[in-house]
Structure formats: structure tokens, C-alpha cells
Amino acid sequence: MTVTAYTLAVLLDLFCVFLGYRFWFRPGPAAAGYGVPADPHGDARAYLSVKGLRDGTLGLVGLALLAFAGVRAEAWFMLCVALVPFVDTFIVLRHGGRKAVAFGIHFATAIVVLIGAGLLFAV
């Protein structure tokens, strides 16, 4: 279970870093994948940049916690960070996004993050 917990934590953190990168360097497709398309050349540039910074920073902080503070700190971090994809679910729904994206991507991600936190607490 230890290998699974660490692997899931690292993968989730790296995925956040990837999402941050994508919102910075491929913002149009990233926004469409998020579920609320936005024009990266229009007024949405700030939203896309902030989203990229948020996701990338969460991933880097998660990796740093796991490497330098330990599994317990990462578990608490993931438990708190699960709030982000839960709220993203409602953001997508509120702004006319598809339910399949809201629940299939964001809500499911929140559940996976909570499972990851639970596994880390169990280690």
C-alpha cells in the first residue's frame, strides 16, 4: 500500500504541474478541457494565467511536501486540496459546462485526491 500511496500522490502532483504548464502554454485547449472554454487572446487571458499558476503551484507544493515534510504533511495537503476540484465541478456547472465534464473530470478528480489522502494517512 505504501508504493501505491506514494505513486498516486506523485502522479497527482505531476498532473497538477502539467495542467499549470498547459494553461500557460496551450491555454485555449486547456480551457476547453476544463469545461469552460475561453478565448486565450481576449478577456480570459487573466483567468487562464491564474488557473495555470494555481494548478502548477499546487503540484509543486505537493511534491515539495512529499519530499521534504513527509507523508503526513502530503496527506493533509491533499485532503485540503480536494476542495479545488470539488469547487471546479460547480464552476463548470454554473457556467454552462457539460455535466459529463463536471462530474467525470472534476468530481472524479476530487474523489481520487481524497483516496490518495486516505492512502497516505494509512501509511
110 vs 41, higher pLDDT: 110
- pLDDT 10s digits, 9-50: 999 999 999 999 999 999 999 999 999 988 888 888 888 999
Q: Mean pLDDT throughout 70-95?
A: 97
What are the residue boundaries of the structural domains of the chain, listed by start? 2-122
Whole-angstrom Cα distance, residue 11 to residue 121?
17
pLDDT at 41: 86
pLDDT at 1: 81
* Cell triple for 85: 476540484
CA 42, 29, 27, 117 torsion-angle sign: positive
